[in-house]
Amino acid sequence: MIVLDLRDEAARAPLDAGDTSDLTPEERASALGNWRDRMVSEHVSARVFAGLFDKLLRAGLPSRYLDLARAAMDEERSHAVLCARALTALGGEARAPLPDPLPRVVPHDDADEIEAVLRDALSIGACSETVAVALVGAEREQAATPDLRAAAMVRVRCRQGPATGRVRGPDPGRTGCRRRDRPTSAPCR
Contact status, residue 43 vs residue 10, Cβ threshold 8 Å: no
Q: What is the mean pLDDT of residues 43-65?
A: 92
Does 84 have pLDDT greater than 50?
A: yes
Does 109 have pLDDT greater than 60?
A: yes
Does 139 have pLDDT greater than 60?
A: yes
Q: What is the pLDDT of residue 140?
A: 66
Beta-carbon contacts of 187 under 8 Å, excluding residues fewer than 6 positions away, are 118, 121, 168, 169, 170, 171
Closest CA to 167 of 77, 45, 82, 71: 71
Say whether 64 sits in a helix, a strand or coil. helix
Predicted TM-score (pTM) of this structure:
0.71
Closest CA to 119 of 54, 44, 23, 55: 55
Of residues 146 and 8, more confidence is placed in 8
% of residues, the chain, pLDDT over 90 = 39
% of residues, the chain, pLDDT over 70 = 71
Does 157 have pLDDT greater than 90?
A: no
Q: What is the mean pLDDT of residues 71-93?
A: 93
Q: What is the pLDDT of residue 147?
A: 65
User: pLDDT tens across 13-50, in order?
Assistant: 998 888 888 888 888 888 899 889 999 999 998 988 89
Contact status, residue 73 vs residue 51, Cβ threshold 8 Å: no
Q: Would you place residue 153 in the very low, low, confident or very high pLDDT band (cuts 50, 70, 90)? A: low
Q: What is the mean pLDDT of residues 53-80?
A: 93
